[in-house]
Amino acid sequence: MALGKTILRGRVLTFLDEPNGPDDHSSYRYIEDGAVLVEGGTIVSVGEWSPALMLAAPGAEVIDHRPHLIMPGFIDTHIHYPQMQVVGSYAKDLLEWLNTYTFIEEQRFADAGHAARIASAFFDELVRYGTTTAAAYCTVHPASAEAFFAEAERRDMRMIAGKVMMDRNAPEGLLDTPQTGYDETLALLRKWDGKGRLHYAITPRFALTSSPEQLEMSQDLARQFPDAYIQTHVNESVGEIAFARELYPNLPDYVGIYEHYGLLGPKTLLGHCIHMQDREIEMLYETGSVAVFCPTSNLFIGSGLFDRARMQKGNVRIGVATDIGGGTSYSMLRTLDEGYKVLQLKGQRLSPIESFFMMTLGNARALSLEHTIGVLAPQADADIVVLDARATPSMALKMEQVETLSEELFLLQTCGDDRAVVETYVAGRPAKARPGT
């Protein structure tokens, strides 16, 4: 059913470029009394509110969100939808966490009914926290990817996902083979990539669970589909790195494994990138690959502290993500709150203006989708979040002393959660108030 015209009225904030520090007001556009005109799932115009808008858009429904803040929907560049029931699982490190909880849980996704149930819950949760696009890992089972894409298509959400490929160092119920991993990925890619608002990611889980033969098959897929995404993990924990070096002793480093098999490039998303060698950073820059910062996961599992300044010095593209279920919150607000703390421990500053850039336009750029999502601009997708910095009594009390936009954003980042999300619009439709629709 075609959507009519809608005008969202409120305080409008959207980014134009990456902020050059906390006082770079030229990096964003802020309208105190703004209006976003939406039609058919797309933004038509963004500007000052005026009664004349009603003449320009006859019959438009006006939704008055004042005094709340209207922004592009949040974007999550690394998340595992099958790990919803793994969140908050106690372990000493990454490998223990994987073997004790995650690999056991993921075997349940051979059941299409279970996968469909979790997929529905997953999208409800994203929308509740204001996230409108994510790059997600499914399990090794094609049924898990089918369930994910079918639910995303039903909700008309812009999503990136792929079935993981893993043929060793995991339970039998989670293993494919180089050939079956290739065949299943190829079939899913042909079926779902470019369908509606969906994108496929070739997903060798990580070097520990993929043999050289499987990485060669992944490389073949990447050659056939140069516009497809590639997602995997690298340099998350010291133990993981040591194991990777044992498995691939003739390659220079962990990033070098993916380099050797032709899996680096502008649409490659590399989760974590904590313990990086200089050569690895240079390779990410040379290939345009994206380093994905997962602060809540890295703190929870105790993997280490991401070095944003070092990445920026190396001109590496950076994304930020929740990494559910190693991560502990679906909220990009909570994620950047923990990111702020990680960088404080590294002696690095992260201003609220930079944080909100990262979870919107910054992550859209990391996904090469900056002309489609992450912005409030004509012809962009009408994926929008409405935020209330007075959502809880303590936040309302603090807001009595807030005088600047930056202070308000920092309050949202440090104290906000799903209660601060008044509404989430997916392709122009209000989705939070009606979960699952």
Beta bridge partners of 318: 291
With CA atoms as reference, report the closest residue to 231 among 191, 198, 194, 258.
258
**pLDDT score of 57 more than 80:** yes
How high is the mean pLDDT of the chain? 96
- Residue 437: per-residue pLDDT: 53
Could you report how far apart the first and last alpha carbons of the chain are, in Å? 13
Q: Note if the bond before 352 is cis, omega within 30 degrees.
A: no
- How remote is the C-alpha of 217 from its chain's centroid? 26
- Residue 4: per-residue pLDDT: 85
Which residue reads 């090469």 in tokens?
368
Task: Using a pLDDT cut of 70, give the percent of the chain over it.
Answer: 99
Q: Which pLDDT tens digit goes with each residue over 111-124?
A: 999 999 999 999 99
Which residue reads 């106690």 in tokens?
90
- 244: DSSP letter: H
264/249 Cα distance (integer angstroms): 19
What's the pLDDT band for 1 if we cut at 50, 70, 90?
Answer: very low
- Type and span of the H or E element at 184: helix 178-192
DSSP per position, 36-48? EEEETTEEEEEEE
What's the pLDDT band for 231 if we cut at 50, 70, 90?
Answer: very high
- Residue 98: per-residue pLDDT: 87
Q: Quick check: pTM over 0.75? A: yes
Interior angle at CA 220, CA 214 and CA 224, nearest 5: 145
